[in-house]
Amino acid sequence: MGMEKYNNMDGKPSEYLYPPEILKRLDFDKSPAKFKPKISAANPGEDWMAVRPLQRSDYDKGFLQLLGQLTSVGNVTRKQFEDRFTKMKQSGGYYVTVIEDTRISKLIGAATLTIEQKFIHNCSVRGRLEDVVVNDTYRGKQLGKLIVVTVSLLAQELGCYKMSLDCKDKLIKFYETLGYKMEPGNSNAMNMRFEEPS
């Protein structure tokens, strides 16, 4: 169709959730994660892969279908998606980050960093890792590690004093290799559920 990568049908670049430049300056040598071969958000290892912020046009690039591999998403209309995108952008603090296979214009990985404003620690900010998902037909590309390290370095870049996540038992080891720790006596995640998610 003659469109440039990431462009809308009208040829204009699609709106980003946050400025994409910040991803290019993340220093992957700061992470304890070991990549073989060495990759980064700026150089994800294949010329057909791009790590970038969520875009308003990603409704058409399978973003919701990708999330559907993680949990139930439901029937989200384009308007609902765009309204949520707008709300996140207005609120600030939402860093939904994706990996695209640009050959087929499909998203193949995603993770969200949210930034919580605090009064404690000199009005500091805290990061949270949420909704990590990778298309498992892309095994061996280190995509899980790539997307998590990307948003973890992003949290540091944005001044967070810490980054937190909740995870299943079987993922503890994976996150430990990326620098996350269980803190003795203080590593319990509890939930209260109000309704069945749709």
Nearer to a copy of itself, 35 or 161 (CB): 161
**Least spacing, CB of residue 161 vs a copy of itself, in Å:** 5
Residues 54/97, Cβ–Cβ less than 8 Å: yes
Residues in 3-62 that interact with a copy of itself by CB under 8 A = none
Q: Does 173 bind a copy of itself (CB under 8 A)?
A: no
Per CB under 8 A, the segment of 11-19, 34-42, 44-52, 174-182 that binds a copy of itself is 174-182
Distances from the Cα of 156 to the Cα of 62, 159, 196, angstroms? 29, 5, 35
Q: Which long-range contacts (CB under 8 A, 24 or more apart) does 71-79 make?
A: 71/197, 72/197, 72/198, 74/198
Size of the site for a copy of itself (CB under 8 A): 71
- Which of 11, 12, 140, 191 is the binder for a copy of itself (CB under 8 A)? 191
Q: Does 130 bind a copy of itself (CB under 8 A)?
A: yes
Q: What residues contact 105, with CB distance under 8 A and at least 6 apart?
A: 60, 61
Of 168, 155, 76, give the one whose Cα is nearest residue 116.
Answer: 155
- Which of 2, 11, 74, 140 is the binder for a copy of itself (CB under 8 A)? 74
Q: Does 137 bind a copy of itself (CB under 8 A)?
A: no
Nearer to a copy of itself, 10 or 194 (CB): 194
For residue 183, give the 3-state DSSP assignment. coil
Residues 127/115, Cβ–Cβ less than 8 Å: yes
Residues in 80-109 that interact with a copy of itself by CB under 8 A = 80-81, 83-84, 87-88, 91-94, 96
Q: Does 181 bind a copy of itself (CB under 8 A)?
A: yes
